[in-house]
Amino acid sequence: MEFPILSILILLPLVAGIAVLFMGANAARWTALLTTLACFVLGIVLWANYQIGGPRWQFVEYAEFAQGALVPAWALGIDGIALMLIMLSVFLMPICIGASWRAIQNRVPEYMAAFLLMEALMIGVFAAQDLMLFYIFFEGGLIPMYLIIGIWGGVEKIKAAYKFFLYTLAGSVLMLVAMLYMVLTAGTSFIPDLMAYDFAPGVQWWLWLAFFASFAVKMPMWPVHTWLPDAHVQAPTAGSVILAGVLLKMGGYGFVRFSLPMFPDASADFVPLVFGLSGIAVVYTSLVALVQKDMKKLIAYSSVAHMAFVTFGLFAFNRQGIEGALVVMLSHGLVSGALFLCVGVIYDRLHTREIARYGGLADNMPGYALLFLLFTMASVGLPGTSGFVGEFLALVGTYEMSSWGAIVATTGIILGAAYMLWLYWRICYGTQKNADAAAMPDLDKREWLLLAPIAAVVMWMGVYPESFLAPMRDDVGLLLERLETAAPEGDAHLTEGDPSAAAAEAEHHEDAHAAGEAAQ
């Protein structure tokens, strides 16, 4: 048997998570940091050994606990898409631990345990090949997140945790019912088999809607997004990073892994619904972001707008759209994570998220201003940063499907620039109004270590995205093959011109010149 690297990636943080419960605060911090770093190293090993162009599912593991289709089997295996999302998770985790180093002072062992448990579950979500196993990881991930918000959160943490709980629970109940039906109908809970199983078109509708209920909440899509701003605002910095960085990606991953390949016909039928909701989300949440007075809330609303690019791209049913959506997921994970860290940096100093309390930070925190600018630009999709590549591809794909969709989605680049630059102005530029804000020291070594790696990857993905696209290329190709028969036609309907009319046009032009010459 091969080295069970995926199992180790899941079990290592799980075991460490239990162990830290019995440690002191400092030991817990170091254990968590070393564990997450070890997972990151394992992730690099995973990426290095992943064969591009090799078998679809790699690092496959299989073990059964008991007989029966509904019994979860320990079936693991990843394709390129899962690989990239696992990389995102293991990359952000040590940064989260680092961000909590000083900010969290009470119940440190429990906090670290929650994060390590979360890491195990996140990796599990992306690695699971069994539907029931996936469900356990997927829903299980809510518990540590819920605890992180509810215990280490801000003033209104209870309300936020409660909202988070209600929304996600409501969605997942429907998904569980659909999953049970699928397993019983298809007779298997093995995801690769289910991805090739053709459900009857009528059934697909209901199954698609049930999954949609869960993924739309996770995404989050308008109008089931209102839990996100509250959850972000109340969560501690690291909680926000992981929430925006990885948890929001589970909705998109769900669409790619389940909705599209398992219910291609229903997916095609629901394109107008998805495009409609995504279009509303882009404009609606961008406008709402414009008037926010709380930094975290602003970035949370911008997340909803950005995730709408993902749903646009995924349901464009073409390569540019889907690859673009996947890159937006990766990029948004990095950029919004970094933006929440940036908020955390100044929150740690002044203990307020109110935008108006800051201003002129470029004076006393030039390093911070530089990095914050970089992430702001990545967020508005400036070419050369990761934000551009994903947005551009997703929008190219969207346009191929629907020009209306592309027009509405592209307004996001105007509004996005407006709210992000205005935020940047109010934080970093202008004159200093408050003595305490003016006295804040620049980034210390720890904070540089947290932000600089993200900045480097954001630039890397922006200049040479091939590194990230290459592993996913074949998987997107297979998905497209699966979708081929169902793919709806775009609204362009390009028709060849009438050559005679074209010639007449040209002649007209010539005439005009001749007339011009004659006029002399």
Partner 1 sequence: MDLSIKLIVFLPLLAAMIAGLGGRMIGKMPAKLVTTGALFLSCFLSWPIFFGFLTGSNAETVVPVLDFINSGDLSVDWALRVDTLTAVMLVVVTTVSSLVHLYSWGYMEEDPSQPRFFAYLSLFTFAMLMLVTADSLVQMFFGWEGVGLASYLLIGFWYHKPSANAAAIKAFVVNRVGDFGFSLGIFGAFLVFGTVSIPAILAAAPDMAGSTIGFAGMRVDTLTLICLLLFVGAMGKSAQLGLHTWLPDAMEGPTPVSALIHAATMVTAGVFMVCRLSPLFETSQHALDVVTYVGAATAIFAATVGTVQNDIKRVIAYSTCSQLGYMFFAAGVGAYGAAMFHLFTHAFFKALLFLGAGSVIHAMHHEQDMRFYGGLRKKIPLTFWAMMAGTLAITGVGVIGVFGFAGFYSKDAILESAFAAGTTPGGVAFFIGILAALLTSFYSWRLVFLTFFGKARWAGSEHIQHAVHHVHEDESEMAADHDSAHDHDVKAVEGTAGYHPHESPWTMLVPLGVLALGAVFAGFGFHHHFFGEEGTAFWAGSLAFDEHLVHAAHEVPLWVKLAPGLVMLTGLAIAYQNYIRDPDAPRRFVEHFSGLHNFLMHKWYFDELYHVLFVKPALWLGRVLWKRGDEQTIDRFGPHGAATVVGLGNKLTARLQSGYVYSYALVMLLGLIAAASWAFWWAR
Nearer to partner 1, 41 or 514 (CB): 514
Rg (CA), the chain: 24
Nearer to partner 1, 60 or 370 (CB): 370
Nearer to partner 1, 298 or 450 (CB): 298
CB of 352 to partner 1, least distance (A): 20
Which of the residues 50 through 79 are near partner 1 (CB under 8 A)?
A: 66-72
How many residues of this chain interact with partner 1, rule: CB under 8 A?
112
102, 159, 433, 446: which one binds partner 1 (CB under 8 A): 159
CB of 453 to partner 1, least distance (A): 16
Sorted by sequence, the CB contacts under 8 Å of residue 378 that are 6+ apart come out as: 331, 334, 335, 338, 385, 386, 387, 458, 462
- Per CB under 8 A, does 151 bind partner 1? yes
Which of the residues 464 through 493 are near partner 1 (CB under 8 A)?
A: 464-466, 469, 490-493
Contact range with partner 1 by CB under 8 A, out of 101-109, 129-137, 329-337, 339-347: 129-137
37, 209, 271, 418: which one binds partner 1 (CB under 8 A): 418
Phi, psi of 256 (to 5 degrees): -70, -40
- Per CB under 8 A, does 433 bind partner 1? no
- Per CB under 8 A, does 320 bind partner 1? yes
- Per CB under 8 A, does 139 bind partner 1? yes
- Per CB under 8 A, does 170 bind partner 1? yes
CB of 134 to partner 1, least distance (A): 13
Nearer to partner 1, 94 or 490 (CB): 490
406, 451, 458, 479: which one binds partner 1 (CB under 8 A): 406
Nearer to partner 1, 117 or 246 (CB): 117
14, 96, 132, 483: which one binds partner 1 (CB under 8 A): 132
The Cα–Cα gap between 238 and 243 comes to 8
Binding mask 76-115 for partner 1 (x = CB under 8 A): ----------------------------------------
Which of the residues 345 through 384 are near partner 1 (CB under 8 A)?
A: 360, 362, 366, 377, 382-384
The Cα–Cα gap between 518 and 159 comes to 80
Contact range with partner 1 by CB under 8 A, out of 2-10, 256-264, 270-278, 410-418: 410-418
The Cα–Cα gap between 161 and 157 comes to 6
Which of the residues 173 through 202 are near partner 1 (CB under 8 A)?
A: 176, 180
Contact range with partner 1 by CB under 8 A, out of 151-159, 201-209, 271-279, 451-459: 151-159
- Per CB under 8 A, does 430 bind partner 1? yes
- Per CB under 8 A, does 516 bind partner 1? yes
Helix 295-314 with 227-234: angle, nearest 10 deg: 140
Which of the residues 245 through 304 are near partner 1 (CB under 8 A)?
A: 284, 287-292
Residue identified by tokens 């605890």 is 147
Contact range with partner 1 by CB under 8 A, out of 31-39, 236-244, 337-345, 401-409: 401-409
- Per CB under 8 A, does 158 bind partner 1? yes
The Cα–Cα gap between 451 and 459 comes to 13
Nearer to partner 1, 150 or 488 (CB): 150
The Cα–Cα gap between 231 and 239 comes to 9
- Per CB under 8 A, does 147 bind partner 1? yes
- Per CB under 8 A, does 453 bind partner 1? no
Nearer to partner 1, 39 or 114 (CB): 114
Q: What is the 3-state secondary structure (H, E, C) of 185-254?
A: HHCCCEHHHHHHCCCCHHHHHHHHHHHHHHHHHHCCCCCCCCHHHHHHHHCCHHHHHHHHHHHCHHHHHH
Binding mask 210-229 for partner 1 (x = CB under 8 A): -------------xx-xx-x
DSSP track, 35-79: HHHHHHHHHHHHHHH--TTS-SSEEEEEEESSSSTTSPEEEEEE-
- Per CB under 8 A, does 319 bind partner 1? yes
- The residue among 177, 247, 258 whose CA lies nearest residue 210 is 177
Instruction: Report helix, strand or coil for 354.
Output: strand
175, 393, 455, 479: which one binds partner 1 (CB under 8 A): 393
Instruction: Report helix, strand or coil for 385.
Output: strand
CB of 172 to partner 1, least distance (A): 9
Sorted by sequence, the CB contacts under 8 Å of residue 513 that are 6+ apart come out as: none
- Per CB under 8 A, does 459 bind partner 1? no
Which of the residues 490 through 509 are near partner 1 (CB under 8 A)?
A: 490-499, 501-502, 505-506, 508-509
- Per CB under 8 A, does 389 bind partner 1? yes
Contact range with partner 1 by CB under 8 A, out of 100-108, 262-270, 331-339, 408-416: 408-416
Collect contacts of 369-372 with beta carbons under 8 A, ≥24 apart: 369/428, 371/338, 371/342, 371/443, 371/451, 371/452, 371/455, 372/339, 372/342, 372/424, 372/427, 372/428
What the block records as the tokens of 318 is 């073409």
Q: Do the beta carbons of residue 185 and residue 178 sit within 8 Å?
A: no
DSSP track, 274-341: HHHHHHHHHHHHHHHHHT--BHHHHHHHHHHHHHHHHHHHHTT-SHHHHHHHHHHHHHHHHHHHHHHH
What the block records as the tokens of 52 is 């591009």
Sorted by sequence, the CB contacts under 8 Å of residue 121 that are 6+ apart come out as: 137, 140, 141, 144
DSSP track, 139-153: HHTHHHHHHHHHHH-
